[in-house]
Amino acid sequence: MTELTAPKSSITSSEFADELREQLKYTQGVTVEQATAADVYVAAATAVRRHLMDSWMTTQQDMINGNTKAVGYLSAEFLMGKQLRNALLNAGLTEQFDEAVESLGFDVQDVVDAEYEPGLGNGGLGRLAACFIDSLASLGVPAFGYGIQYKYGIFRQEFDEDGKQVERPDYWLSNEDPWGHIDYGRSQRVNFGGEVVEENGKRVWKPAWAVRAVPVDYMVPGYASGRVNTLRLWQAKSYDEFDLLAFNKSEYMKAVEPQVKAENISKILYPEDSTEVGKELRLEQQYFFTCASIHDAIRVFYPGQDKPDLTTFPDKITFQLNDTHPVIGIPELMRVLIDEYGYDWDTAWTITNKTFNYTCHTLLPEALEVWSAKLIGKLLPRHLEIIKKINEQFMAELTGLTDDAEKIERMRIVTDGKEPAVRMAYLATYAGSHVNGVAELHSQLLKDVTLRDFSDLYDKKFTNVTNGVTPRRFIKLANPRLSNLITEGLGTDKWLEDLDMLEGLVPLAQDDEFVKKFAQVKMDNKIGFSNFAKRNFNIDVDPNTMYNTMIKRLHEYKRQSLKILELIADYADVKAGKLDIDKVTPRTVIFGAKAAPGYYLAKMTIQLINNVAKVVNNDPDIKGKLNVVFVPNYNIRVAQHLIPATELDEQISQAGKEASGTSNMKFALNGALTVGTLDGANVEIRARVGADNFFLFGMTVDEVEAMYANGYDPRKYYESDPRLKGAIDMVASGVFSNGDEDTYEPLVHDWLNKDWFMTLADFTAYHDVQSQIETLYGDQLEWNRKALLNVANSGYFSSDRSIEDYLERIWKTGPMA
Ligand code: 26W
């Protein structure tokens, strides 16, 4: 008898149908007959929120009245994905919803599809934040996600006739947002600009302008915890009235200027995901949400107190800084404690130090934010003073810890010289209690390289918490077929709360019947994705080919170029008669990737991939055996459809560049085999699923370092590997640009003269592993056995486990009683 522990609401489907009918009538003013699928979606969302309201309010009360320290997850990005199915799952209303909607005469998929996906993030960092707040609620830990409700999320990606990326604005709020509860009564004032003056021995900030931060609250329901936490996203509003005088003098721009200036702050998400922006508006955004969040936390945990004892603040809440983006929050808390509550420097410092922890998500020097002191001084003059004082205190402290003057110089938080700048990663590392990387290799490289000087002197601050993903969205919701098979195999669905239980599948991998059932699930998912791709993008994907997927932001270090060059080399070999297409394993290579709008070479790589697809997919010599598909506008919805259908996923970044990766975990948990380098969390995935169940290739971090040290000449590899030469020459010759030899010249030039991430050096090894892949794929039973063992041994990569690690190693708190 299968044990089912999934949350289940006691109401019936017809009662839920009544609620939908009532919502449609009294909230939206339509009858069932008049209603559209979008109306029913809004009614359903509102009805689910009503069922979660009691738990939400109880959780808030228990958080304030209890003495369980809460977690404040400060993040400039939350890539939440669509909410309805997740809310139904956690409210135990899934069946009732499906039956009620059908009984009202609507197609369930049409209603679910009516929801617009909020794209309030770029990629890994934003999605991780979403998985983490899901796990915090599912573990019953009191927590707030704090961020910005951008009016425009990550751009919608389209491809023009040349296969070039075109960015379209993502005005997601032009659609109904039934999940957000705007709460004007709890807005916060955020000041900017102006100057600092001395008044009776005190430093007093005289700001020049202010913005009203209005909280928009989203429920974060836990799975089977009965807890509902809050994601509080701040929206910028102006205090200043509409300038009627200017308007009457038809100076319209002047009339609205104050509002526009204020509301600009939460207008749009910066689409960069690994290159610092350095724009003034970006710093305004960072200060806006951290300032509002700190004041909000004081309001929440010291209700109605104007003279709260903030020495207890670190026992009430601990803030996690999601990369350097919220680090300006550190001098902000110091300012609040000293200037607004009158604490002395040392007391304020102790509180601040105990309150903040910093997670670094990158190894790319260009991604570590460094703000010019001039800009900080202009926008936040009091904060610059405080940062300078922190730096002085730090420099003094260092002289007590080391007499290596150069080391001390290297560690400056505020650089000297004519353009002083503030290193936000150094400020976070010195001011916070803990610093962690997001995978074992990454955390080690942070200690050995990026923050070496700091780990030498503050070793105890450094720790690791390997990333994770929520099994609710990325297995249960994305892959119901596999979920049912797992529950059948384990005899319970409790694995959704305790993913380590997947280990119970290991013996079943030796049961050919069970493996065949698993293979059928994969095939059904492949057909499912083929229908999804046709319905949504008019793209044909043949389920009788291997689904070989590479989905992630377009970045040179992730090496989409390696994937496309290997494919072009195969094509060239077929065209040259060196490769018999009939001996090639039928394969469809599926790409999904957005490039930052200003990232020239990344956008050229997208253009190349789209044009390789055009040529190869329509070449009769290829007989449909090699297919390239580029799914536009890759987002969470596409991921949820593509990952369960994938057989082989690409994690081929240059070793030492991908901090962790999280799609790699989602693929392993959904029964795909990975071809990858020893980079980020690939190392831990391979260690847990077994080296026999992972296709490894490429240089290690040490080999890469040695290559840099000895000087890397990519042209040598071009000369020595004829397949590589053939592929690059084909690109250069215009085969994928209607004969135009200049189209990809910048890309070819970079490959042959720079190739910073050593795509050419790893090319031959990458090709060699392909034959292992093709051989194994020929034995479907063995392939699926290994794929099932990936599922069985990947329970560790649950974000619940990551959160348990943060609770134990960094936050020192836990579930509410
Ligand atoms: C300042 C511009 C900017 C914006 C975003 C710089 C850096 C970022 C993020 C840190 C980039 C990011 O998303 N990093 C990814 O974080 C994931 C979650 O930890 C990791 O799994 C990925 O390896 C890492 O690239």
Same domain, 449 and 489: no
Residue 670 lies in a domain: yes
Same domain, 625 and 690: yes
Same domain, 518 and 380: no
Same domain, 788 and 681: yes
Residue 24 lies in a domain: no
* Among the ranges given (16-20, 73-77, 237-241, 687-691), the one the predictor scored with the smallest mean pLDDT: 237-241
190, 292 Cβ separation under 8 angstroms: yes
Q: Indicate whether 348 pLDDT > 80.
A: yes
- Cα separation, 253 vs 731, whole angstroms: 50
Rounded distance from Cα 125 to ligand 1 centre (Å):
5
Angle, helices 799-806/124-138, rounded to nearest 10 degrees: 80
Closest CA to 767 of 635, 572, 569: 569
Rounded distance from Cα 357 to ligand 1 centre (Å):
17
Q: Which atom of ligand 1 is nearest to the CA of 360?
A: 10
Q: Indicate whether 242 pLDDT > 90.
A: no
**Ligand 1 atom 6 nearest Cα:** 274
Domain that holds residue 352: 66-81+117-467+803-811
787, 777 Cβ separation under 8 angstroms: no
Q: Indicate whether 234 pLDDT > 90.
A: yes
Average pLDDT over every residue of 59-86: 97
- Cα separation, 232 vs 145, whole angstroms: 6
Q: Check residue 15 and give left, alpha or beta (phi > 0: left; psi -120 to 50: alpha).
A: alpha
Q: Indicate whether 564 pLDDT > 90.
A: yes
Give me the count of residues in the chain.
Answer: 817
Ligand 1 near 285 CB (within 6 A): no
Question: Total structural domains in the chain?
Answer: 2
Same domain, 380 and 485: no
Q: Indicate whether 388 pLDDT > 80.
A: yes
Same domain, 396 and 491: no
Q: Check residue 816 and give left, alpha or beta (phi > 0: left; psi -120 to 50: alpha).
A: beta
Task: Specify the long-range contacts of residues 392-400, CB closer than 8 Å, at least 24 apart.
Answer: 393/349, 394/430, 398/457
Average pLDDT over every residue of 581-592: 97
Q: Indicate whether 606 pLDDT > 80.
A: yes
DSSP type of residue 327? T
Average pLDDT over every residue of 687-711: 98
pLDDT of residue 252: 84
Rounded distance from Cα 554 to ligand 1 centre (Å):
12
pLDDT of residue 277: 67
Ligand 1 near 123 CB (within 6 A): yes
Q: Can you give the three-state secondary structure of 751-778, one letter per residue?
A: HHHCCCCCCCCCHHHHHHHHHHHHHHHC
Ligand 1 near 361 CB (within 6 A): yes
Rounded distance from Cα 443 to ligand 1 centre (Å):
14
Average pLDDT over every residue of 365-387: 96
* Token output for 186: 């709890």
Q: Kindly report, residue by residue over 482-509, the tens digit of the pLDDT.
A: 999 999 999 999 999 999 999 999 999 9
Residue 232 lies in a domain: yes
User: CB burial class (10 A; 0-12, 13-18, 19+) of residue 67?
Assistant: exposed
Q: Kindly report, residue by residue over 506-540, the tens digit of the pLDDT.
A: 999 999 999 999 999 999 999 999 999 999 999 99
Give the rounded percent of residues in the chain with a pLDDT score beyond 90: 95
Amino acid at site 351 = I
Helix (H) or strand (E) holding 49: helix 37-65
Choice from 148, 270, 361 to test ligand 1 binding pocket (greatest atom count within 8 A of CB): 361
Q: Kindly report, residue by residue over 310-330, the tens digit of the pLDDT.
A: 999 999 999 999 999 999 999
Give the rounded percent of residues in the chain with a pLDDT score beyond 70: 100
Ligand 1 near 323 CB (within 6 A): yes
Same domain, 432 and 505: no
Residue 42 lies in a domain: no
Same domain, 223 and 368: yes
Reported confidence tier of residue 142, pLDDT bands at 50, 70, 90: very high
pLDDT of residue 1: 80
Reported confidence tier of residue 244, pLDDT bands at 50, 70, 90: confident
Q: Which atom of ligand 1 is nearest to the CA of 323?
A: 10
Q: Kindly report, residue by residue over 412-445, the tens digit of the pLDDT.
A: 999 999 999 999 999 999 999 999 999 999 999 9
- Cα separation, 603 vs 751, whole angstroms: 15
**Ligand 1 atom 4 nearest Cα:** 273
- Cα separation, 143 vs 145, whole angstroms: 7
Residue 290 lies in a domain: yes
How does the average pLDDT of the chain come out, rounded?
97
Q: Indicate whether 377 pLDDT > 90.
A: yes
Q: Indicate whether 163 pLDDT > 70.
A: yes
User: CB burial class (10 A; 0-12, 13-18, 19+) of residue 649?
Assistant: buried
Reported confidence tier of residue 272, pLDDT bands at 50, 70, 90: confident
* Token output for 744: 């990809």
Distance of CA 422 to the CA centre of its chain: 26
pLDDT of residue 96: 98
pLDDT of residue 317: 98
pLDDT of residue 256: 84
Q: Indicate whether 106 pLDDT > 90.
A: yes
Closest CA to 125 of 274, 251, 13, 269: 274
Same domain, 680 and 790: yes
Q: Indicate whether 552 pLDDT > 70.
A: yes
Virtual torsion, Cα 616, 617, 623, 624, nearest 10 deg: 130
User: What CATH number does residue 267 fall under?
Assistant: 3.40.50.2000
Same domain, 452 and 503: no
Q: Indicate whether 572 pLDDT > 90.
A: yes
User: Which residues carry out catalysis?
Assistant: 361, 552-553, 558, 662, 666
Residue 550 lies in a domain: yes
Rounded distance from Cα 208 to ligand 1 centre (Å):
34
**Ligand 1 atom 22 nearest Cα:** 661
Q: Is the pTM of this model over 0.95?
A: yes
Residue 592 lies in a domain: yes
Q: Kindly report, residue by residue over 449-462, the tens digit of the pLDDT.
A: 999 999 999 999 99
Ligand 1 near 367 CB (within 6 A): yes
**Ligand 1 atom 5 nearest Cα:** 273
Same domain, 128 and 272: yes
User: CB burial class (10 A; 0-12, 13-18, 19+) of residue 580?
Assistant: exposed
- Cα separation, 50 vs 30, whole angstroms: 19
pLDDT of residue 239: 86
Residue 122 lies in a domain: yes
Reported confidence tier of residue 85, pLDDT bands at 50, 70, 90: very high
Rounded distance from Cα 124 to ligand 1 centre (Å):
6
pLDDT of residue 599: 97
Average pLDDT over every residue of 629-646: 98
Average pLDDT over every residue of 14-25: 98
Same domain, 462 and 544: no
Q: Indicate whether 347 pLDDT > 90.
A: yes
Mind giving me the DSSP string for 477-495? IT-HHHHHHHHHHHTBSGG
φ, ψ at 549 (rounded to 5°)? -115, 140
Q: Kindly report, residue by residue over 392-407, the tens digit of the pLDDT.
A: 999 999 999 999 999 9
231, 62 Cβ separation under 8 angstroms: no
* Among the ranges given (25-29, 247-251, 292-296, 300-304), the one the predictor scored with the smallest mean pLDDT: 247-251
Average pLDDT over every residue of 73-102: 98
Reported confidence tier of residue 593, pLDDT bands at 50, 70, 90: very high
